[in-house]
Structure 1
Amino acid sequence: MTPRPPHPGTTPLAGAPRVPESMRAMVIDAPGGPEAFRSAEVDVPQPVLSEVLVRVVAAGVNPIDAKTRAGRGVSPAISAYPAVLGFDFSGVVVKAPYETHPLQPGTAVFGMASFPRTQGAYAEYVVAQSLSVAKMPAALSHVEAAGVPLAALTAWGLVVETAHAHEGQRILIHAGSGGVGHFAVQLAAYFGAHVTVTASGRNSAWLRELGAAVVIDYTTTRFEEVIADVDVVIDLVGNAADSTGSRSLRVLRPGGLIINVPTGSWPDFAADAAAAGARATTYKVVPDGGALATIGRLLSSGSIQVYIERVFDLADAAAAHTVLEEGHTRGKLVLRVSDD
């Protein structure tokens, strides 16, 4: 019998790139402001079981990173300091779980780290569960890909899996110009919903290009005075600013759905929604590599896009967090970690 040829994705682990013992990372020694970041040499993490080790080319910067750095977010789950923050990454696999695994060394990938269970992505190497990773779309650069995972997966969960966006559905999205928001606008429009967005006036034209039917400038107009009978509210603001969440209950149709994302911003969320006759749920991102691969196909086809406002070097993580916390970022901020 003629032996079968080797599987085209098979590469001996012995042929994998050499990995150093230590790496450059931005760490914090305790919660604090952006100035808490410092550059350090730390051990390269070791993958176990189904994890992959990835050489990071770029890392996305998300609001949850800043909240965690400041002592909120997922900070209570950090088991030891110094800590490396960051969920989002794009890069190249350098260690696969086994010889025939689909994500072999040399494969360009993007995904989410298991931070804070492991060290995060603000470093030259990161480990991640292989089920939280997908092959990087060839149409994207590493910088673009690093801006996708957490924000796009959150938007996917909100729009597709929770709101079940469909033709004719009326969806209101607060903070539509941010990282999650700009993906949510595009996905809701892609699936046929009528999308209304609250954002600053400077982003109106851009958001219409992304698929918003109506853009309400929150700096000049109270949204509850101009819209009503909304099927779904995707609340990316909460009650931390101007009671946006509570005011949203007034524009929902009876039995409509409100999805609240900011953690801790609205302690009475469930009770308030029930009193208003609305259905209600919170939402937290699921790092699903399968959904990320689907998002990658939409990005490759041009059906949706990622917008990167600024790129910082890894050493400038503090500056990136300072800009993020100013609260006016359009799309995403990304750290460039190494060469492609």
Structure 2
Amino acid sequence: MTALRIRARDLLTEEQLIAVRRRSTWKGAALIAHAWALIIVAVALVAWWPNPLTYLLAVAIIGSRQLGLAILMHDGAHGCLSPDEKINLAMSQWFCAYPVFAETRAYRRYHLQHHARTQQEDDPDLVLSAPFPITKMSYRRKFLRDITGQTGYQQRKAQLLNALGPAEWPLARRAAHFWEKLGPQCAVNAVLLAAFAIAGVWWAYPLLWLVPLLTWMMVITRIRNIAEHAVVPDSNDPLRNTRTTRANWLERLFIAPYYVNYHLEHHLLFYVPCYNLPRVHRILSESRHAGSMEVQPSYAAVLRLATAKPDREDRPGQVVNSARRARSGAKVDADQTAGGF
């Protein structure tokens, strides 16, 4: 089922649309550079002053920037990193997607279905929002699985097995399939490892790249998924089936980088670069639509809504629905890292 949409010209004037649609290669490159600069600074901090506190801080910062790279890959999937599609795809693939074991083109094919069918029965991302609200106990179990790396390990294991292909395939076919699915990602990560080794901090790759990827990034990816579409007021109203969450500077640093919190504005105008979404939000907040928009004051407020089910109704290990199981394998290839944007 196709989701209801509001025409762009019912939201913004022609002049405003022209302004917010404008894409800039240098702005896209600047955001990517910002993400990598924070990663390098976090690694340097631990190398210069190694102790448990700086390590935990670095894991949180790097995990948030890894999500940031996935967010910027998502912008690339919408053609928003550069007005030149070849440059857009190259930036998205080599500097955003491949380092976090994702792939822009496969993600684009999958993700555009979500935009066309938002919160409808055939929305491929409905499995991310349908189970909510849940109990606080259920969320604590999910948080524990995420922060201890269990979620990340299971996702990467499934991704690897998918890339290896069936055991009965000839070796040459399996090798070709592996390269198609994970080859560039492994090559870029080998370069990362080599760069850390040349800098004299080879240990940073397992401890400050893989650990955040498998732990903190999983925690905040789940929080982001919840904030975007869980427990929305009306699945059929394009102003209320997607949520914008206000984020303070700490939330932007550790949970919601690169304007990902402006998700309602993104769904209304999905061809707008992420750095123009705050402007869209300001315009809409002063329009006749302001009172109808689903906006929450913080991520803590969203989590309270999403965990409002009484603990007495908690069912540990309960299967939410059969669709979730059926689609989980298909999501591994296309939506492993950036699900639900």
TM-score, normalised relative to structure 2: 0.26
Higher relative contact order (CA 8 A, sep 6+): 2
Higher strand fraction: Structure 1 or Structure 2? Answer: 1
